[in-house]
Structure 1
Amino acid sequence: MSINGDTPNPTREEDPVNPRDPSGFLSEIIGSAVIVKLNAGTVYKGKLEAVDGYMNITVHGCEEVRDDKVVRKWGNSFIRGNNGTHL
């Protein structure tokens, strides 16, 4: 089916990114530097190591950051998916 006879509408099978399911995007950025903001406002920086279906993540070289300064180095960290607001 097309809009105005020009471009076909993408179907779910053709559309590689589903905005309601971020797991595909998160899987693509494994190994990238990330900034994670938690519900409480705490910010962590590090390299995304792993992600699961619940959006739990593992961050390598995790550092807690406040006012653009590192306040604590956590090393490898597990962050539960329902605690994060932004990645």
Structure 2
Amino acid sequence: MASASNPSSANRPVSASQGHGSTPADFLKAVLGRPVVVKLNTSIEYRGILACLDGYMNIALEQTEEYVNGELKNTFGDAFIRGNNVMYISTTKT
């Protein structure tokens, strides 16, 4: 699993629009190993470290927390999310 190469940058937001010619793929590469929020079609949010993802947007998170209606419901060491359930991926709010 990937880890952050620069821990001091782990909490700085990354935007897909940063830089010229930036794409969603560039954004996903930039946040690999960093804290993210994954929102599902059901409005449930998972927050954790983006460990890896594939071309189908299947996601593996580490140090995962599950939030339902903004309230922490569960914590997991690792979580795997099927890509067709994902509404969006964003960096964590600071």
Flag the structure with higher strand content: 1
1:9-48 equivalent positions in 2, closer than 5 A: 16-18=21-23, 22-48=24-50
Structure of greater Rg: 1
Shift in Å at residue 69 of structure 1? 3.1
Deviations 1:10-56 (A, max 9, x none): xxxxx6434xxx33321221011111110011111101000111111
Tell me how far apart the structure 2 counterparts of residues 67 and 36 of structure 1 sit (CA, whole Å). Answer: 14
Q: Across the two proteins, how many residue pairs are aligned to each other?
A: 70
| TM-score where L is the length of structure 2 | 0.65
Flag the structure with higher helix content: 2
Counterpart check, 1:52 vs 2:54: yes
RMSD: 1.6
Ranges in structure 2 where 5+ consecutive residues have no aligned partner: 1-19, 90-94
Shift in Å at residue 76 of structure 1? 0.4
Q: Which has the higher contact order (CA 8 A, sep 6+)?
A: 2
Deviations 1:41-78 (A, max 9, x none): 11111010001111111100111013443210122011
The list of structure 1 runs, each at least 4 consecutive aligned residues, that deviate by more than 6 angstroms after superposition, is: none
Ranges in structure 1 where 5+ consecutive residues have no aligned partner: 1-14
Tell me how far apart the structure 2 counterparts of residues 72 and 83 of structure 1 sit (CA, whole Å). Answer: 18
